[in-house]
Structure 1
Amino acid sequence: MTDFFDLKRNDVAMLCRRSGARRLDAFGSAVRDDFDPVASDLDFLVEFDDVPPATYAEAYFSLKEGLESLFGRPVDLVTSRGLENPFFRERIDAERRMVYAR
Structure 2
Amino acid sequence: MIALVEDKKDDIAALCRRFSIQRLDLFGSAATGAFDPETSDLDFVVDLGEYESGVARRYFAFADALEALFGRSVDLVTEPSISNPYFRAAVDRQRIRLYEARDGQAAA
Q: Same fold (TM over 0.5)?
A: yes
Return the letter of the residue paired with 1:62. A
Query: Shift in Å at residue 67 of structure 1?
Result: 0.4
Tell me the residue number matched to 1:33: 33
Tell me the residue number matched to 2:13: 13
Tell me the residue number matched to 1:71: 70
Query: Shift in Å at residue 11 of structure 1?
Result: 1.1
Percent sequence identity over aligned pairs: 45
SS at match of 1:21: coil
Contact 2:2 2:30 in 1 (8 A): no
2-side partners of 1:55 and 1:19: how far apart? Answer: 11
TM-score by length of 1: 0.91
2-side partners of 1:72 and 1:81: how far apart? Answer: 27
Query: Shift in Å at residue 2 of structure 1?
Result: 4.5
SS at match of 2:54: helix
1-side partners of 2:71 and 2:62: how far apart? Answer: 14
Equivalenced residue count is 101
Structure 2 unaligned runs (5+)? 102-108
Return the letter of the residue paired with 2:58. A
In terms of fraction of residues, the more helix-rich structure is 1
2-side partners of 1:78 and 1:21: how far apart? Answer: 13
Contact 1:28 1:42 in 2 (8 A): yes
1-side partners of 2:56 and 2:62: how far apart? Answer: 10
Structure 1 unaligned runs (5+)? none
